[in-house]
């Protein structure tokens, strides 16, 4: 069937969303009633989207005015966009939510005519690392970096002497206050991390200490958020890039903010007279009428006070069982780390009400007691385990066009050891859709707020992350919601569109390292510390 616009998703006489999925079975009355209730809970109307965006705009402005708000609006000290002429050899490391990636960028230029190579290795983060100590974290990272240098015969080509070290850019995808581009104090862990001894500390100082202890021949030049890196890398190939966004394990955005002294565009930015003069010189040297700085929003913590977000009982449960209850409210409703868990919690609740998987559920007590032997034998213990289901599970369900949805059945059998009936398959397909639609619609709110605050009327948002890249319908749903918020009608034909981001955590951070060294050579050392 043809795609259905979000404007048509809700019938005029009902809360029931009009599913994009073809029906394979009728739901029993009790299950149909449960679906109607869930439908109402998870739908975010156009009016609600606009309420959320209005509050979003306020919190974005508050973040530019002072420190300590829900949305920190972190200064990155990345001034301007890439010229495309940066050259040299640079290391890049990327600490994400799942993997550590180490890259080597070699060559000049990063546009269509650029000649560079990118060599990389991924190292899976052990699950235990996410709740360990600072020493364990930096030891793991420096050990991986040492292995990479050795494997690629770089250890003997550089020394620890200041002029003979390999420049390194660090993609650190967590909220950090940066007083310089090579400095960053971790504000709080996100993405399920809770590593002791790092919050409130300068992560670059801790990292440098471990680099020195292993005698590695590298020079940490810059600390960069992945959204900033994605934006900088994407803007060269696509001059219409207006922002970078991450829709993956977490959610975030970055954009270029003009630095105007009077009236102050960034009131919390405190510069000396000679630094403002240096900015004027930088603008003249680089052809910018007004110098811009990349702002890393870190808006996963939007509305922690829950003034406008439409939370459900399942969102409350996700928050309550998370390492940091009361934090990252927006992220927990919209980011990929949590969508599968919300889906699982809904299923568990229905099993306990004996509405789903009834052939397996007799041993799961209604009050949440332990699973009995019969249920264990049939696999319901899998369903009870937190985060057994990830967002890829939901994506696969929505993307399944196999006969009788065989791929979905196989997925339930493989992951959960369950064999759903036709009505249960139908219910799960529609539930996956409800949760994914809500996530995409919420994700449109942050970009809408940035565009409204900055007067941006057209351009491309360079998006990266597993949800943006792998969910089959995310981009269209996001665009439709943005169109509703900004009164365009069909957002897929609107002037602001999602594009696929360039490699921000690899190429992007390496380019920023090169930009930083070139700016230092021009004598514009704002945000670099002492020479």
| DSSP-assigned letters across all residues of 294-345 | EEE--GGGTTTT-SS----HHHHHHHHTSSSTTS-HHHHHHSHHHHHHHHHH
pLDDT at residue number 371: 44
Q: Which two tokens stand for residue 53?
A: 């965006």
Q: Which H or E run contains 496?
A: strand 496-500
Rounded mean pLDDT, 2-30: 58
**pLDDT one-digit tens code per residue, 129-155:** 999 999 999 999 999 999 999 999 998
Question: Contact at 8 Å (CB) between 254 and 173?
Answer: no
Q: Which of 6, 76, 173, 334 is catalytic?
A: 173
Model confidence at 269: pLDDT above 80: yes
**pLDDT one-digit tens code per residue, 434-448:** 999 999 999 999 999
Q: Which of the given ranges, 6-10, 24-28, 403-407, has the highest pLDDT on average? A: 403-407
Lowest-confidence region among 6-15, 35-44, 202-211, 452-461: 6-15
Rounded mean pLDDT, 233-254: 89
Model confidence at 1: pLDDT above 60: no
pLDDT at residue number 223: 95
Total Cβ atoms within 10 A of residue 370:
11
d(C-alpha 418, C-alpha 287), whole Å? 62
Q: Is 238 a catalytic residue?
A: no
Question: Contact at 8 Å (CB) between 475 and 513?
Answer: no
- Give the pLDDT band of residue 365 (cuts 50, 70, 90): very low
Q: Which residues does residue 185 pair with via DSSP β-bridges, in sequence order?
A: 177, 202
Model confidence at 170: pLDDT above 90: yes
CA angle 142, 78, 224 (to 5 degrees): 25
Q: Is 182 a catalytic residue?
A: no
Q: Under CATH, which architecture does the 74-240+251-300+502-522 domain have? A: 2-Layer Sandwich (3.30)
pLDDT at residue number 372: 44
Question: Contact at 8 Å (CB) between 67 and 52?
Answer: no
CATH topology of domain 39-71+303-360+369-457+459-494: Hexokinase; domain 1 (3.40.367)
| pTM of the full structure | 0.84
Question: Contact at 8 Å (CB) between 45 and 10?
Answer: yes
Q: Which of 101, 165, 188, 409 is catalytic?
A: 188
List, in order, residues 6 or more apart from 530 with CB less than 8 Å away.
none
pLDDT at residue number 524: 84
| HEC secondary structure over 408-457 | HHHHHHHHHCCCCCHHHHHHHHHHHHHHHHHHHHHHHHHHHHHHHHHCCC
pLDDT at residue number 2: 46
Lowest-confidence region among 102-116, 346-360, 494-508: 102-116
pLDDT at residue number 285: 80
d(C-alpha 315, C-alpha 304), whole Å? 13
In angstroms, the Cα distances linking 119 to 116, 348, 438, 475 are 10, 44, 38, 29
Q: Which of the given ranges, 4-13, 60-69, 276-285, has the highest pLDDT on average? A: 60-69
Domain boundaries defined on the chain: 39-71+303-360+369-457+459-494, 74-240+251-300+502-522
Average pLDDT value for the chain: 87
pLDDT at residue number 159: 83
- Give the pLDDT band of residue 72 (cuts 50, 70, 90): very high
Rounded mean pLDDT, 393-404: 91
Would you say the CATH fold of 74-240+251-300+502-522 matches that of 39-71+303-360+369-457+459-494?
Answer: no
Pairing of strands 241-247, 459-464: parallel
- Give the pLDDT band of residue 185 (cuts 50, 70, 90): very high
d(C-alpha 124, C-alpha 140), whole Å? 10
pLDDT at residue number 299: 95
**pLDDT one-digit tens code per residue, 53-62:** 999 999 999 9
End-to-end CA distance of the chain: 63
Top-confidence residue, 2 or 37: 37
d(C-alpha 88, C-alpha 457), whole Å? 36
Closest Cα partner for 441 from 330, 304, 312? 330
pLDDT at residue number 5: 47
Rounded mean pLDDT, 240-257: 92
Q: Is 188 a catalytic residue?
A: yes
Q: Which of 226, 315, 390, 400 is catalytic?
A: 226
């Amino acid at each position: 069937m043809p795609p259905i616009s979000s404007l048509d998703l809700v019938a005029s006489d009902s809360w029931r969303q009009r599913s994009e999925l073809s029906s394979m079975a009728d739901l029993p009355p009790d299950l149909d009633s449960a679906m109607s209730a869930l439908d109402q809970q998870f739908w975010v109307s156009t009016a609600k989207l606009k309420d959320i965006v209005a509050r979003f705009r306020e919190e974005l402005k508050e973040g530019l005015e002072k420190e300590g708000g829900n949305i920190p609006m972190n200064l990155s000290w990345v001034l301007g966009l890439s010229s495309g002429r940066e050259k040299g050899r640079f290391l890049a490391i990327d600490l994400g939510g799942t993997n550590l990636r180490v890259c080597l960028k070699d060559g000049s230029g990063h546009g269509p005519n650029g000649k560079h190579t990118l060599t990389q290795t991924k190292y899976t983060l052990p699950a235990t690392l996410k709740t360990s100590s600072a020493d364990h974290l930096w030891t793991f990272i420096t050990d991986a970096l040492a292995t990479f240098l050795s494997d690629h015969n770089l250890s003997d080509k550089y020394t620890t002497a200041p002029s003979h070290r390999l420049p390194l850019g660090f993609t650190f995808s967590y909220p950090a206050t940066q007083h310089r581009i090579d400095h960053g104090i971790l504000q709080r862990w996100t993405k399920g991390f809770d590593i002791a001894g790092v919050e409130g500390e300068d992560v670059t100082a801790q990292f440098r200490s471990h680099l020195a202890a292993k005698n590695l021949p590298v020079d940490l030049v810059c600390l960069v958020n992945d959204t900033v890196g994605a934006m900088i890398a994407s803007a060269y190939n696509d001059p219409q890039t207006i922002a970078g966004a991450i829709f993956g394990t977490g959610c975030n955005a970055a954009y270029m903010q003009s630095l105007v002294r009077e009236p102050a565009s960034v009131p919390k930015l405190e510069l000396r007279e000679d630094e403002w003069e240096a900015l004027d010189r930088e603008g003249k040297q680089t052809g910018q009428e007004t110098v811009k700085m990349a702002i890393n929003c870190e808006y996963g913590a939007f509305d922690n006070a829950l003034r406008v977000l439409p939370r459900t009982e399942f969102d409350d449960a996700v928050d309550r069982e998370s390492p940091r209850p009361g934090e990252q409210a927006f992220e927990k409703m919209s980011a990929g780390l949590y969508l599968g868990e919300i889906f699982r919690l809904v299923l568990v609740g229905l099993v306990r009400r004996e509405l789903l998987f009834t052939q397996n559920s007799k041993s799961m007590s209604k009050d949440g007691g332990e699973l009995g032997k019969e249920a264990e034998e049939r696999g319901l213990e899998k369903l009870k385990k937190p985060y057994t289901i990830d967002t890829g599970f939901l994506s696969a369900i929505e993307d399944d066009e196999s006969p009788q949805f065989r791929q979905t059945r196989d997925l339930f059998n493989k992951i959960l050891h369950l064999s759903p009936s036709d009505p249960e398959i139908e219910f799960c397909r529609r539930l996956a859709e409800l949760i994914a639609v809500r996530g995409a619609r919420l994700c449109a709110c942050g970009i809408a707020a940035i565009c409204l605050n900055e007067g941006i009327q057209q351009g491309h948002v360079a998006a990266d992350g597993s949800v943006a890249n792998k969910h089959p319908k995310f981009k269209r749903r996001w665009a439709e919601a943005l169109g509703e918020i900004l009164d365009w009608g069909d957002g897929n034909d609107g002037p602001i569109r999602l594009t696929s981001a360039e490699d921000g955590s690899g190429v992007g951070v390496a380019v920023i390292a090169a930009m930083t060294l070139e700016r230092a050579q021009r004598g514009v050392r704002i945000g670099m510390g002492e020479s």
